[in-house]
C-alpha cells in the first residue's frame, strides 16, 4: 500500500507507519525561479526555508496522510501567526544542472541530513516539534522550459522498538480530554507529550526513566491504526535517553485515537552510533524517485515569454556582467524614425535587450523588395485589397507583438518635414511637426534611421532642444556610420558633434531628380545588420554610464566604452572609432539654431524648410563660406592667377 511503511521486528508485532507526502504549490516554484534569477544565480548553497502541516486540531476526514505544504511563503523569514497550520524548518538545496541533480549520491546526502537531526536530538538543550520534523528538498530549476525537478526528504532515525501489547482503550479514554485541554492551553505546538503522575508535560520537562507513558499528536487521520512516521524520531529520542519500555497514546481529534505498548530491543541499539536513516519521499506509485513540476503547461504563454526574455538577460549578470543595470534599459521608451531595414533590425535588437516600449514612425508602404532585407515584413504584407502594400510603421508594430506579445509597440504613418523641401500644405506640415514634437516628449530615446540626409535635420534639432538621447545610423553602399549626438548640457570642451557638424552647407533636397539606383537604398545587405546592432549596443553603453547622454567621448563604464562615432567599411572589413566635437556654426546643433527653435517653434522650422539659405545665415555658415571664398581668391591672386587670364573662360559661359 502506497504511503505505508512496515517494519519487521525480531520480537512482537510489526509496526506500520504512514509516510509523509509533500504538496508543493506552483507559487513555490515561481518564487524559487525569481530567487534563482535575481539572488541565488549560480550559488548552490543550501538555504533555510519553511513548510507547514495542517494543525492536528484542524484535521478532517480527508487528511489520510501527513502532508508537508510548501508555497511562496516558504522562503519568507520571521515568525508566523497562523492557528490553522504548524510550521517546520527545512533546507533547500538547489543545484545548477540536471546532471548534478541526477548524479548526487542520494544516500550520502540523506545521511548528512540525518546527522543534523541526530545532533539536534542528542545535543540540543531545548527541544521542540521543529527539531524532530526537519525536512530537506533537493531541486533543479530548468528556467528555460519552466520545469522543476524536486525530491523531498524527511530524515528518519531508526530504533528497534517492538509492539508487545494490544491497544489499551481505557488509557486512551482516560487522557483524551486532558490532551485536548493541554493542546488548547499551549501557545506553542507540542507533538510529543509525557504523562507524569497523571499530568501532561512537554519535552522540555521530560522525566527520564526506564518506563514511561507518552502522547503522540498524530498529523493524519487514516482509518487504520497507523501513526505518522514522524513518531519514529521521537521513539529514537526515547531510546537515546534510556527508556526501555513505553506506552504511546496516538491522539487524534476525531475520536480514532489508539494506544501501543512498545519495548526496546536493547541488544540491537547503540546509543553513540548514528542509526540507520531513511526518509526520501516516494512517488504516488510507491517508488523512490524524484518528482517533476512542469509549470510550462500551466502558465500563460505570454507570461512564459516574458520570463524567458528576462532570463536571457539576467544570465549575463551571473558571470559576465554583474554590474549591468537591466532595469534602466527595460524602462526606456524608444522612438524609431524609420521602419525600414535599419528600423526593423534595431527594433529586434532592442527587444533582445528587454526594451518593452517601441514606437515606429514612417510614411512608406511595404514593397516586394522589402521583406528579404526587412525582417519585420513578409510577402503577404506587400499587397492588399487596394493593390498597395501595408503601411510600414503600423505593420512593423504589429510584427513586434507577434514576435513578443509583451512589447508595447505602435506605428504612426507620419511624414517628417524635411529641410530643402518647401512647405506646400502648411496645415498638414504643421500638424506633422506637432505630432513629431509630442512623440519626442513621450519618448526617452530617439533613433534616426531614415533613408535621406535632410529628413534627419528636424529630429536632430528637436532632440537637442528637448535634451534626448539621439542615436544616428546611416548606410553607404559598403560603409556605415553609427553615432550619438551630444547634449547642450555637456561642457564646451566635451560637447559632442551631431550628424551635421562636419557640413559646410545646410542640408538640402537630395530626393528630387534621382535615377532608379538613387531612389533605392543600395547597400550591401550585411551593413544594415551591423549598423543596427552597433547602434543598439551603443545605446546600452550610454545607459550604463553615470552621465548617460553626457558621457564624454571614449569614457568607460563597467560594461565597456562609450565612443562617439563608429564607422565601418565592408570592402576591407575595417571599423574605426572617431570623435568630432561640436561645430559652433552647425546647421542643426549650434546654440543659435536651438535658441531660434525654442523661440519660434514651427514658424522658425517653416522658414528653414522653405529656404535653407536662411538657416545658413543664422547659424553663420554663409559667413564662413564667404570668408572661405575670399581667402581662396586672395590666395589665387597671390599666386598670379586672375579670372581675365583664364583661357577656358569662354567655354564656361
Output DSSP code: residue 96.
Answer: S
In whole angstroms, how far apart are CA 367 and each of 342, 371, 520? 16, 8, 11
Select the more confidently predicted residue: 519 or 328. 328
**Residue 516 has what pLDDT?**
36
Closest CA to 253 of 317, 160, 180, 360: 180
What percent of the chain has pLDDT above 70? 90
State yes or no: pLDDT of 348 exceeds 70.
Answer: yes
* E-state strands within 31-79: 47-54, 67-70
Arithmetic mean of pLDDT, 475-504: 90
State yes or no: pLDDT of 311 exceeds 80.
Answer: no
Residues in the chain: 653
Mean pLDDT lowest among 9-18, 171-180, 523-532: 9-18
Contact indicator for 495, 581 with CB cutoff of 8 Å: yes
- Residues whose CB is less than 8 angstroms from the CB of residue 482 and which lie 6 or more positions away in sequence, other chains included: 471, 472, 473, 531, 534, 535, 538, 565, 566, 567, 568
**Residue 649 has what pLDDT?**
45
At 374, the pLDDT band (50, 70, 90 cuts) reads: very high
Is 520 among the residues known to form the active site?
A: yes
- Residues whose CB is less than 8 angstroms from the CB of residue 464 and which lie 6 or more positions away in sequence, other chains included: 470, 485, 486, 487, 488, 498, 588, 589, 594
The CA distance from 182 to 217, in Å, is 11
**Residue 602 has what pLDDT?**
96
Element (H, E) at 541: helix 525-544
- Does this model's pTM top 0.85? no
Q: Is the dihedral of CA 341, 345, 350, 356 positive or negative?
A: positive
Closest CA to 15 of 213, 255, 254, 248: 248
Compute the C-alpha angle 125/78/83, nearest 5°. Answer: 85
How high does pLDDT run on average in the chain?
88
- Residues whose CB is less than 8 angstroms from the CB of residue 590 and which lie 6 or more positions away in sequence, other chains included: 582, 583, 584, 619, 620
- Out of 498, 520, 589, 619, pick the active-site residue: 520
107: three-class secondary structure by DSSP = helix
Select the more confidently predicted residue: 633 or 427. 427
Output DSSP code: residue 547.
Answer: T
**Residue 321 has what pLDDT?**
82
The CA distance from 462 to 607, in Å, is 16
Q: Count Cβ neighbours within 10 Å for each residue of 528-555 and write b for 16 or more, e otherwise.
A: bbbbbbbbbbbbbbbbbbeeebbbbbee
The CA distance from 374 to 365, in Å, is 12
The CA distance from 159 to 278, in Å, is 12
Q: For residue range 355-369, what is the model confidence (pLDDT) as tens digits?
A: 999 999 999 999 999
At 506, the pLDDT band (50, 70, 90 cuts) reads: low
State yes or no: pLDDT of 274 exceeds 70.
Answer: yes
Q: For residue range 382-398, what is the model confidence (pLDDT) as tens digits?
A: 987 778 999 999 999 99
At 184, the pLDDT band (50, 70, 90 cuts) reads: confident
As a whole number of Å, the end-to-end CA separation of the chain is 111
Domains of the chain: 4-155+283-296 (3.40.140.70), 161-276 (3.40.140.100), 326-610 (3.40.50.720), 620-653 (no CATH)
- Grid cell of 585 as nine digits: 556654426
**Residue 213 has what pLDDT?**
95
Q: For residue range 65-74, what is the model confidence (pLDDT) as tens digits?
A: 899 999 999 9
Residue ranges in 587-620 assigned as alpha helix (H): 591-600, 602-610, 612-619
Q: How many CB atoms lie within 10 A of CB 27?
A: 13
Q: For residue range 592-637, what is the model confidence (pLDDT) as tens digits?
A: 999 999 999 999 999 999 998 899 999 999 888 877 777 666 666 6
Closest CA to 139 of 154, 149, 127: 149
**Residue 509 has what pLDDT?**
58
State yes or no: pLDDT of 562 exceeds 50.
Answer: yes
Contact indicator for 543, 325 with CB cutoff of 8 Å: yes
Backbone φ and ψ of 148, nearest 5°: -125, 120
Arithmetic mean of pLDDT, 18-27: 93
Mean pLDDT lowest among 162-166, 169-173, 210-214, 583-587: 162-166
The CA distance from 221 to 64, in Å, is 5
State yes or no: pLDDT of 653 exceeds 50.
Answer: no
State yes or no: pLDDT of 140 exceeds 60.
Answer: yes
**Residue 511 has what pLDDT?**
53
- Grid cell of 7 as nine digits: 517494519
Q: For residue range 228-249, what is the model confidence (pLDDT) as tens digits?
A: 999 999 999 999 999 999 999 9
Amino acid at each position: 500500500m502506497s504511503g505505508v511503511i512496515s517494519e519487521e521486528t525480531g520480537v512482537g508485532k510489526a509496526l506500520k507507519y504512514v509516510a509523509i507526502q509533500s504538496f508543493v504549490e506552483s507559487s513555490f516554484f515561481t518564487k524559487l525561479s525569481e530567487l534563482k534569477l535575481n539572488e541565488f544565480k549560480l550559488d548552490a548553497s543550501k538555504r533555510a526555508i519553511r513548510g507547514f502541516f495542517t494543525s492536528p486540531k484542524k484535521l478532517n476526514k480527508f487528511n489520510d496522510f501527513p502532508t508537508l505544504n510548501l508555497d511562496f511563503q516558504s522562503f519568507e523569514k520571521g515568525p508566523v501567526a497562523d492557528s490553522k497550520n504548524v510550521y517546520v524548518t527545512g533546507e533547500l538545496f538547489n543545484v545548477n544542472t540536471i546532471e548534478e541533480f541526477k548524479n548526487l549520491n542520494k544516500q550520502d546526502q540523506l545521511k548528512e541530513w540525518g546527522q543534523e537531526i541526530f545532533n539536534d536530538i542528542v545535543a540540543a538543550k531545548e527541544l521542540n516539534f521543529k527539531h524532530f520534523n526537519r525536512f530537506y528538498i533537493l531541486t533543479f530549476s530548468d528556467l528555460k522550459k519552466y520545469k522543476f525537478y524536486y525530491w523531498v526528504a524527511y530524515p528518519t532515525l531508526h530504533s528497534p522498538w517492538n509492539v508487545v501489547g494490544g491497544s489499551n482503550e481505557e488509557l486512551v479514554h482516560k487522557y483524551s480530554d486532558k490532551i485536548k485541554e493541554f493542546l488548547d492551553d499551549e501557545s506553542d505546538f507540542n507533538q510529543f507529550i509525557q504523562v507524569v503522575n497523571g499530568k501532561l508535560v512537554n519535552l522540555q520537562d521530560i522525566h527520564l526513566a526506564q518506563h514511561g507513558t507518552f502522547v503522540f499528536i498524530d498529523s493524519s487521520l487514516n482509518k487504520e491504526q497507523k501513526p505518522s512516521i514522524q513518531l519514529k524520531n521521537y521513539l529514537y529520542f526515547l531510546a537515546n535517553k534510556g527508556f526501555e519500555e513505553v506506552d504511546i497514546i496516538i491522539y487524534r481529534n476525531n475520536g480514532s485515537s489508539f494506544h501501543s505498548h512498545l519495548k526496546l530491543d536493547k541488544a540491537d541499539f547503540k546509543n553513540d552510533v548514528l542509526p540507520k536513516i531513511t526518509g526520501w519521499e516516494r512517488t504516488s506509485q510507491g517508488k523512490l524517485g524524484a518528482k517533476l513540476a512542469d509549470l510550462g503547461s500551466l502558465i500563460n504563454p505570454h507570461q512564459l515569454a516574458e520570463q524567458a526574455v528576462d532570463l536571457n538577460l539576467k544570465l549575463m549578470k551571473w558571470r559576465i556582467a554583474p554590474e549591468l543595470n537591466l532595469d534602466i534599459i527595460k524602462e526606456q521608451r524608444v522612438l524609431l524614425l524609420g521602419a525600414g531595414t535599419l528600423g526593423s533590425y534595431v527594433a529586434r535588437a532592442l527587444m533582445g535587450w528587454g526594451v518593452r516600449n517601441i514606437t515606429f514612425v514612417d510614411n512608406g508602404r511595404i514593397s516586394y523588395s522589402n521583406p528579404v532585407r526587412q525582417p519585420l515584413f513578409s510577402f503577404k504584407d506587400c499587397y492588399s485589397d487596394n493593390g498597395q502594400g501595408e503601411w510600414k510603421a503600423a505593420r512593423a508594430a504589429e510584427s513586434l507583438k507577434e514576435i513578443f506579445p509583451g512589447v508595447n509597440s505602435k506605428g504612426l504613418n507620419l511624414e517628417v518635414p524635411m529641410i530643402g523641401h518647401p512647405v506646400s500644405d502648411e496645415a498638414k506640415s504643421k500638424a506633422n511637426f506637432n505630432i513629431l514634437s509630442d512623440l519626442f516628449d513621450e519618448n526617452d530615446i530617439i533613433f534616426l534611421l531614415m533613408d535621406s540626409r535632410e529628413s534627419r535635420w528636424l529630429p536632430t534639432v528637436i532632440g537637442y532642444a528637448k535634451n534626448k538621447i539621439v542615436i544616428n545610423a546611416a548606410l553607404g553602399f559598403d560603409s556605415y556610420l553609427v553615432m550619438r549626438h551630444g547634449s547642450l548640457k555637456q561642457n564646451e570642451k566635451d560637447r559632442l558633434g551631431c550628424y551635421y557638424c562636419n557640413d559646410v552647407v545646410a542640408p538640402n533636397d537630395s530626393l528630387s531628380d534621382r535615377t532608379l539606383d538613387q531612389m533605392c537604398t543600395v547597400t550591401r545587405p550585411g551593413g544594415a545588420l551591423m549598423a543596427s546592432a552597433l547602434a543598439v549596443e551603443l545605446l546600452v553603453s550610454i545607459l550604463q554610464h553615470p552621465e548617460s547622454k553626457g558621457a564624454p567621448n571614449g569614457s568607460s563604464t563597467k560594461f565597456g566604452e562609450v565612443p562617439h562615432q563608429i564607422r565601418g567599411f565592408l570592402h576591407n572589413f575595417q571599423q574605426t572609432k572617431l570623435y568630432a566635437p561640436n561645430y559652433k556654426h552647425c546647421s542643426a546643433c549650434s546654440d543659435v539654431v536651438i535658441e531660434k527653435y525654442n523661440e519660434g517653434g514651427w514658424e522658425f522650422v517653416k522658414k528653414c524648410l522653405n529656404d535653407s539659405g536662411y538657416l545658413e545665415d543664422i547659424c553663420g555658415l554663409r559667413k564662413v563660406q564667404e570668408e572661405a571664398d575670399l581667402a581662396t581668391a586672395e590666395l589665387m591672386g597671390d599666386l598670379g592667377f586672375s579670372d581675365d587670364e583664364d583661357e577656358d573662360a569662354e567655354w564656361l559661359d
